[in-house]
């Protein structure tokens, strides 16, 4: 096995040992019922909403899509019967469609069920069923198994994050007027807003956060290149404006907050850029696990995490839907606080070059199994400044029978320093580094690197950096 593949697996083994040790010190917790939106559990309505959404999406794609793709949406009974009897394949629709558009569609299916009072697993089933329905009856092309993963599973992870963020805003207000609160929540989760409209928008239509501690921020600024090795990518934009939103929800440290449901803890980040629309959309949440403590000053959680990542730093792109073992915790001593997360697991990934010099198109990418690892830490001093460091690694192996073989090793490091000026207003300096090393028998060895540095105005969701009080 290549040495580059060992690092994620070594981290996985270390985390597994750490979480087993932590389980021995697990804090007792009460068994409580799954919170649901009362009075709403109508599977017929959910099915009608998913079918209605797909009909509208099909008609939009047929009328407004590229002329060469219109026939892909000319669905007939013959095309449905053909897809029902066709074996499932791996398709190569444009990368952004398969890896960003499909997960977002899955989040809509998921949100229709979730905002009707169904729990995480039931809503995930609705997302998978909605994905299968689209593969059979939403388009004429053969059904694809990669879409079932990215739409059904990745869409569920993304959908739960969007659902909880929308409801957190409705519950907490965020300092907004009712109109803007409803509007921004609708942008975050349109399917949730649609069902709230049907249900009358009363208090019973808001999912309770149960007092979850959270840390949110918005960053607006510019990034410039410090290092670029384009490899077989043709062009990059040296300077770009960026807008980033991030949220940590349900962070450990609050004694009366229990982790009994999927995504009671999750982290979300999305970055829009003038260079290529979305530089990243990433979310991870604990699916099942427990809280624990170590000594007087450390509180943590551990368990099974689900994640969806979409990363596109101009020269290449990668997207994964993954399951990982992991732990998240907070250590506090006076004015000093350290928060961190470590996860390691395996996902199903798509990876490829952007604007290849070999004449490739947006369909020029491949799929593979991806061992992966993440380490993220935040050092906070007196809620005056914070240093954030996050490192990710993906080892994408092309092991499909009959494939050309080879692998990709992708490493991403993100460092940011934030100084709070007054209240929620702060200034941040960030450095972002991405590297891809690809080795394929028919292409040889290729490397791509991009480093950027930037200055940002930061608006904190609170007058602090996410320190959790017991």
269 touches 244 (CB < 8 A):
yes
Q: Measured between alpha carbons, how far is 400 from 54 in angstroms, rounded to an integer?
A: 31
| Domain boundary, last residue among 205, 224, 253 | 205
Q: Measured between alpha carbons, how far is 150 from 148 in angstroms, rounded to an integer?
A: 6
pLDDT at site 355:
67
Q: Would 467 be classed as within a structural domain?
A: no
Range of the domain at 141: 43-205
**What are the CA-CA distances from residue 41 to residues 53, 113, 195, 204, 437 (Å)?**
19, 8, 11, 13, 49
Helical residues (DSSP H) of 138-277, grouped into ranges:
145-147, 155-172, 178-188, 190-199
What is the torsional sign of CA 197, 203, 205, 211? positive
Residue 105 burial (CB count, 10 A): 25
DSSP string, 275-318: TTEEEEEEEEEEEEEEEEEETTTEEEEEEEEEEEEEE--SSEEE
| Domain boundary, last residue among 205, 226, 255 | 205
Q: Would 25 be classed as within a structural domain?
A: no
Q: Measured between alpha carbons, how far is 53 from 256 in angstroms, rounded to an integer?
A: 40
- Residue 281 CA neighbour count, 13 Å, CB half: 21
Q: Would 318 be classed as within a structural domain?
A: yes
Q: Measured between alpha carbons, how far is 108 from 328 in angstroms, rounded to an integer?
A: 28
Residue 173 sits in the same domain as residue 218: no
Q: Measured between alpha carbons, how far is 49 from 47 in angstroms, rounded to an integer?
A: 5
Mean residue pLDDT of the chain comes to 88
Q: Would 386 be classed as within a structural domain?
A: yes
Q: Phi and psi at residue 27, in whole multiples of 5°?
A: -75, 145
pLDDT at site 336:
97
Predicted TM-score (pTM) of the model is 0.91
pLDDT tens across 52-85, in order?
A: 999 999 999 999 875 568 889 999 999 999 999 9
DSSP 264: S
Q: Measured between alpha carbons, how far is 183 from 195 in angstroms, rounded to an integer?
A: 14
171 touches 196 (CB < 8 A):
no
Reduced to 3 states, what is the DSSP secondary structure of residue 102?
helix
DSSP string, 394-450: EEEE--STTS---EEEEEEEEEEEEEEEETTEEEEEEEEEEEEEEEETTTEEEEEEE
199 touches 436 (CB < 8 A):
no
| Domain boundary, last residue among 180, 205, 230 | 205
Q: Would 19 be classed as within a structural domain?
A: no
pLDDT at site 446:
86
Q: Are strands 425-440 and 444-460 parallel, antiparallel or unpaired?
A: antiparallel
pLDDT at site 270:
98
Q: Measured between alpha carbons, how far is 370 from 325 in angstroms, rounded to an integer?
A: 14
Residue 248 sits in the same domain as residue 388: yes
Residue 290 sits in the same domain as residue 367: yes
Q: Phi and psi at residue 293, in whole multiples of 5°?
A: -140, 155
Q: Measured between alpha carbons, how far is 242 from 219 in angstroms, rounded to an integer?
A: 8
Q: Measured between alpha carbons, how far is 461 from 451 in angstroms, rounded to an integer?
A: 28
Residue 183 sits in the same domain as residue 218: no
Residue 314 sits in the same domain as residue 393: yes
Number of domains in the chain: 2
Residue 353 sits in the same domain as residue 413: yes
pLDDT at site 309:
98
Q: Measured between alpha carbons, how far is 153 from 110 in angstroms, rounded to an integer?
A: 10
Residue 150 sits in the same domain as residue 229: no
What CATH number has the domain bearing residue 358?
A: 2.40.160
280 touches 246 (CB < 8 A):
no
Residue 272 sits in the same domain as residue 421: yes
Q: Would 37 be classed as within a structural domain?
A: no
Nearest Cα to 215, choosing from 268, 144, 278, 177? 268
Q: Would 216 be classed as within a structural domain?
A: yes
Q: Would 14 be classed as within a structural domain?
A: no
Residue 171 sits in the same domain as residue 216: no
Q: Measured between alpha carbons, how far is 307 from 292 in angstroms, rounded to an integer?
A: 22
Point out the residues of the chain with pLDDT beneath 70. 1-39, 66-68, 235, 355-363, 399-404, 442-443
Residue 228 sits in the same domain as residue 140: no
Residue 197 sits in the same domain as residue 272: no
Residue 184 sits in the same domain as residue 216: no
């Amino acid at each position: 096995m290549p040495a580059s593949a060992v690092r994620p697996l070594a981290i996985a083994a270390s985390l597994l040992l750490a979480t087993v040790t932590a389980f021995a010190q697990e804090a007792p917790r009460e068994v409580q019922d799954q919170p649901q939106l009362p009075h709403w559990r109508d599977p017929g309505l959910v099915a009608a909403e998913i079918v209605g959404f797909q009909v509208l999406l099909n008609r939009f794609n047929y009328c407004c899509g590229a002329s060469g793709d219109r026939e892909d949406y000319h669905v007939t009974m013959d095309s449905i019967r053909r897809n029902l009897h066709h074996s499932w394949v791996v398709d190569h629709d444009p990368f952004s469609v398969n890896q960003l558009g499909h997960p977002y569609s899955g989040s809509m299916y998921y949100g229709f069920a979730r905002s009707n009072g169904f729990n995480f697993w039931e809503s995930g089933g609705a997302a998978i069923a909605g994905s299968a329905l689209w593969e059979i009856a939403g388009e004429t092309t053969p059904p694809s198994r990669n879409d079932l993963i990215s739409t059904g599973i990745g869409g569920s992870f993304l959908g739960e994050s969007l659902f909880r963020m929308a409801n957190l805003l409705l519950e907490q207000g965020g300092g907004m007027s009712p109109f803007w609160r409803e509007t921004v929540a609708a942008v975050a989760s349109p399917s949730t807003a649609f069902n709230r409209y049907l249900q009358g928008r009363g208090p019973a239509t808001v999912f309770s956060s149960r007092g979850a501690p959270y840390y949110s921020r918005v960053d607006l600024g510019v990034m410039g290149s410090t290092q670029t090795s384009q490899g077989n990518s043709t062009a990059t934009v040296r300077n770009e404006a960026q807008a980033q939103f991030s949220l940590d929800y349900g962070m450990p440290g609050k004694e009366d907050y229990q982790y009994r449901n999927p995504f009671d803890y999750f982290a979300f980040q999305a970055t829009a850029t003038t260079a290529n629309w979305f530089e990243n959309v990433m979310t991870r949440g604990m699916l099942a696990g427990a809280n624990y403590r170590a000594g007087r000053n450390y509180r943590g959680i551990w368990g099974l995490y689900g994640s969806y990542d979409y990363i596109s730093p101009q020269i290449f792109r990668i997207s994964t839907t993954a399951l990982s073992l992991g732990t998240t915790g907070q250590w506090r001593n006076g004015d000093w606080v350290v928060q961190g997360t470590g996860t390691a697991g395996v996902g199903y990934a798509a990876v490829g070059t952007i604007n290849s010099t070999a004449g490739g198109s947006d369909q020029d990418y491949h799929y593979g199994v991806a061992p992966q690892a993440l380490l993220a830490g935040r050092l906070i001093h007196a809620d005056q400044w914070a240093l954030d460091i996050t490192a990710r690694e993906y080892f994408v192996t092309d092991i499909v029978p009959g494939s050309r073989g080879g692998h990709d090793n992708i490493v991403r490091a993100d460092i940011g320093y934030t100084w709070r000026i007054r209240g929620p207003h702060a200034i941040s300096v960030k450095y972002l580094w991405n590297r891809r090393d690809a080795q394929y028998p028919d292409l040889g060895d290729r490397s791509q690197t991009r480093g950027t540095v930037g200055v940002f105005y930061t608006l904190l969701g609170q007058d602090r950096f996410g320190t959790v009080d017991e």
